[in-house]
A and B are shown apart, each in its own frame.
Chain A
Amino acid sequence: MSSSTVSSLLNVGATGLRAQSVAVNVTSQNLTNVQTEGYTRRNVLMDPLQGPPDGGGGVIARGSLRIVDQYVERRWLGAISEKAGAEASLQLSSRIDEVLSDSSGNVGQALDAFRAAVRDVSVNPSDTGARQVMLSRAESVASTFRNAETRIEESRDEADRRMADAIAQANAIASEISQLSQQISRSEASGNEASDLRDRRDQRIRELGKIVPITAVTAEQGRITVLLAGREPIIAADGAISPLKAVPDATTGRIRVERTAAGAPMDVTSWLNGAGSLGGLVEARDGALASAQTSLDQLAFDFANAYNTVQTAGFGLDGVSGRKLFDVSATATGAASSIALSVDVAGFPDRIGAASTAATVPGDNRNALDLAALETATVMSGGETVDGALGALITSGGLSVQAARDEVDARSAVEAQAKSARDSISGVNSDDEMVALTQYQRAYEAATKVVQTADEMLQTLLQLKR
Chain B
Amino acid sequence: MGSLLRFETLLHRERAAAIAADLDALESIAIEKQEALDELTDDTIDDELLGRIVTQARSNGRLLRHLVDLHRALVGGAEPVYGARGDLRAETDPGARLRRPA
Contact = CB atoms under 8 A, between A and B. Distances in A.
Interface of A: 1, 6, 9-10, 12-14, 16-18, 20-21, 24-25, 28, 31-32, 34, 430, 434, 437-438, 440-441, 443-462, 464-466
Nearest to A14: B70
A1 B15 CA distance: 11
22 contacts: A6-B15, A9-B16, A9-B19, A13-B18, A21-B74, A24-B74, A24-B97, A31-B101, A440-B98, A441-B92, A444-B74, A446-B26, A447-B23, A447-B64, A453-B34, A454-B14, A454-B33, A454-B61, A457-B34, A458-B54, A461-B57, A462-B54
Q: What are the 9 A-B residue pairs with the smallest beta carbon separation, nearest first?
A: A456-B84, A13-B21, A451-B64, A9-B19, A444-B71, A17-B70, A450-B26, A446-B23, A452-B82
A460 B82 contact: no
Contacts of A454: 14, 30, 33, 57, 60-61, 64
A465 B47 contact: yes
Nearest to B25: A450
A448 B72 CA distance: 9
B99 to A, nearest CB: 9
Contact of A449 (B19, B72, B75, B82): B82
A6 B53 CA distance: 18
Interface of B: 14-16, 18-21, 23, 26-27, 30, 33-34, 37, 40, 45, 47, 50-51, 53-54, 57-58, 60-61, 63-68, 70-75, 79-86, 92, 94, 97-98, 100-101
Main SS class of interface, A? helix
B64 A441 contact: no
A1 B63 CA distance: 15
A25 B73 CA distance: 11
A450 B27 contact: yes
Nearest to B11: A454
B100 A430 contact: yes
Nearest to A17: B70
A32 B101 contact: yes
Contacts of A430: 100
Given A17-B70, A451-B68, A455-B61, A10 B37 contact: no
A447 B30 CA distance: 11
Most buried by B among A438, A441, A466: A441
Contact of B23 (A14, A443, A452, A456): A443
Contacts of A18: 70
B67 A13 contact: yes
